[in-house]
Amino acid sequence: MSTKPKLVVLTGAGISAESGIKTFRDSDGLWEGHDVYEVASPHGWKKNPALVLEFYNQRRRDIANALPNEAHKGLAELEKAFDVHIITQNIDDLHERGGSTKVLHLHGEIFKMRSEQNESLIYPIQTDIILGDTAEDGHQLRPFIVWFEEPVPKIAEAIEITRSADIFVVIGTSLVVYPAAGLLDYVHRSTPKYIIDKQIPTVDTAFITPIKATASEGVKKLKKILSS
């Protein structure tokens, strides 16, 4: 058991944007020019699996070429003084490459793949997945990503981590995608809370300290606050 204060951080696309990773959904509702439901839903997969595979193959290439930024590294440095748990909505591995040791991926991981039939058959993948690649059960392999309309298997674990937070921080997420956005409701009322974003989401800020900044700048400010 760690004797350090438990710092729980919920991160979204905004923390990876500074590493050149496009945010999930732009204001026009498109992701890299695609309707999100065409590339991130069971319906889209059934309709055109080749398109979905190529879309995620490109995401995998982009992420492999990206580097963790100062926000990722700053959170890892906080492990010296805090028991840091990252709960991320991101599918990239930039938290891990930035040095964080406890990372829970709510929406899956781009460097893993699974059987389309059996979600417990999971394999590492660094290259491309193509049509005809099958798992050991004979079914097509698909990205290990939680799509729209699919359950979020790790939300229960995330809730437990959140409930035990001594400090709770939200970075780079609009707090509109559920169930991740609902994690804030599980933080104890008296627990110090911070939100880092260029656009602070509409939440009850009476019990939350807003830090209006980019993720890197905000984490720098957070570190100063927590060390004072």
By the 10 Å C-beta count (0-12 exposed, 13-18 middle, 19+ buried), 4 is classed as middle
DSSP state, 32? T
Q: Which amino acid is at 161?
A: I
Map tokens 């570190």 to a residue.
Answer: 223
Q: How far apart are the C-alpha atoms of 125 and 131, rounded to whole Å?
A: 14
By the 10 Å C-beta count (0-12 exposed, 13-18 middle, 19+ buried), 8 is classed as buried
Determine whether 34 is an active site residue.
Answer: no
By the 10 Å C-beta count (0-12 exposed, 13-18 middle, 19+ buried), 78 is classed as buried
Q: Are 8 and 2 in contact (CB under 8 A)?
A: no
The token pair that represents 37 in the structure block: 């439901």
Q: How far apart are the C-alpha atoms of 214 and 90, rounded to whole Å?
A: 17
Q: How far apart are the C-alpha atoms of 145 and 41, rounded to whole Å?
A: 10
The single residue of 72, 107, 139, 188 carrying the catalytic annotation is: 107
List residues with catalytic annotation.
107
